[in-house]
Structure 1
Amino acid sequence: MLREQRLQLILDYIEKKGYCTNEDLSKSLGIPFTTLRRDLTDLDSEHKLQRVHGGVKVIKEKSILEAELGEKLTENIEAKKLVAQKALLCIKPNESVFLDAGSSTYFLAQLIKPELNIRIYTNSITNAQVLASNGIRDINILPGHLKLSTGAICGVETISAINKFHFDVAFLGANAVDGEFNFYTTDNDEAEVKSTIIKNAQFAFILADKSKMNSKSFVRFSNKSEVALINEEV
């Protein structure tokens, strides 16, 4: 049996049971204990199941609602700073960069310095202000409607403006990431902005700390085939 088939067999069995012991899994699926332990470790690290003492249980995906930007800036700060540090390494000098609205991109904006000599486009007034305070000179704010709760600019004008450009690299926020690495946001207009940015960028990255994992929200805007995830571990 191929490894991928074996892992799916394990996930399907646990999904039906909700919880089962390692011994039950090994006997029921005919998987040697040493192989099973390795498979369970891999699936746990991918957040597809949760290992507990003597067994495993299914992870129930939670539904994420939108929080105010000010609230998000006070949550999981160290994790978001680490994500931002990793994202910074993906920017090369003289590139054109898109920076999405959101708390993770806010911490990335704090790290960007004039020495990179990059051109930045953003749909966040907050991030534009942070960049300006860092001495970044080439800052471009996209037009559109300002969503007060998240500080994101979105709408028809925003989409029209994005379609005029091609970005070397784009950094996007997400409200939720499910077990199959689909990416979600809470607002259809913001989802449209994010998906359009992805189409108009050579490389696109989702910045999402582990608190966003194994969850879903209102609108799916992308998946792992289109963008790369940056979190504390990746």
Structure 2
Amino acid sequence: MLREERLKLILDFVNANGYCSNEDISKALGIPFTTLRRDLTDLNTEQKLKRVHGGAKSIKERSILEETLDQKLTSHIEEKKIIAQKALVCIKKGETVFLDAGSSTYFLAQLITPELNVRVYTNSIINAQVLANNGVSEIHILPGKLKLSTNAICGVETIVSMSKFHFDVSFLGVNAVDNDFNFYTTDEDEALVKVKAIENSQFAFALVDNSKMKSKAFIKFSDKSQIALISEEV
């Protein structure tokens, strides 16, 4: 058996069971103890599972820390472009759209054109500039405090302003999604903006590339009962 095949078998077995002893893995997969110990060490080093005394346990959820917008805009670009194309289909002509700050919404902003005849509200100066460059005529930048690391406008002024509006559809940036499809972000003020957008929208979508799946961040702001997931696969 090739090493890559063996590692995949081990990882799948541990993930399916949550925790497995070395003996369980060895018997189930027919892998000698010496080889198994080496494989578990490699998988632990690669952070694909956690090696513990006498066995291994699954790492089903990771903790996500906030990156700057510049970092986000240069990672998983092709996946985010696919997600943006899928999100664009959810916009109908003449609708009022809320476009959250974030890298996935940035790629969606690039696709919104005057032909859609939409009214866009956003808490992102960068997304507003992209829309303006596209020739979109009705762009509203929400007031509030600018968070420099993510270029998101948030705070009390933002929430008060959003409370006056009803959006046909909103598209939200997300930092993490856990196994139960709870949605997370890393900042309390940004979380409140997302919650208000969901409350004041007929439909709300989370734009999530696969690197954010099976993970958690600081603050849960929604779950699958309130918001639909758009990823490169879904």
TM-score normalized by structure 2?
Answer: 0.78
CA contact (8 A) 2:176 2:212 kept: yes
Runs of 4+ in 1 over 4 A off after TM superposition: 10-13, 18-21
1:60 aligned partner: 60
Report deviation, 1:152. 0.3
Q: Is it true that 1:15 corresponds to 2:22 in the alignment?
A: no
Report deviation, 1:62. 1.1
| AA in 1 matched with 2:115 | E
2:131 aligned partner: 131
Is the radius of gyration larger for structure 1 or structure 2? 2
User: Closer, same or farther in 2 for the Cα pair 1:151/1:14, shift >3 Å?
Assistant: same
Report deviation, 1:61. 1.2
CA contact (8 A) 1:59 1:214 kept: no
Matches for 1:81-230 after TM superposition, within 5 Å: 81-230=81-230
Report deviation, 1:15. 2.3
> What SS does the aligned partner of 2:203 have?
strand
| AA in 2 matched with 1:95 | E
What percent identity do the matched residue pairs reach?
65
2:44 aligned partner: none
| AA in 2 matched with 1:65 | L
Report deviation, 1:14. 1.3
| AA in 1 matched with 2:197 | I
Structure 1: tracts of 5 or more residues without a match: 1-9, 25-48, 51-56
C-alpha RMSD over aligned residues: 2.5
**Per-residue deviation, residues 144-164 of structure 1 (Å, max 9, x unmatched):** 000000000000000001110
- Structure 2 CA distance for aligned equivalents of residues 210 and 111 of structure 1: 21
- Structure 2 CA distance for aligned equivalents of residues 125 and 18 of structure 1: 52
**Per-residue deviation, residues 59-99 of structure 1 (Å, max 9, x unmatched):** 43111111110110000000000000000000000000000
User: Closer, same or farther in 2 for the Cα pair 1:168/1:186, shift >3 Å?
Assistant: same
| AA in 2 matched with 1:77 | I
CA contact (8 A) 1:123 1:152 kept: yes
Structure 2: tracts of 5 or more residues without a match: 1-12, 29-47, 50-56
- Structure 2 CA distance for aligned equivalents of residues 95 and 105 of structure 1: 17
Task: Count residues in correspondence.
Answer: 197
Report deviation, 1:196. 0.8
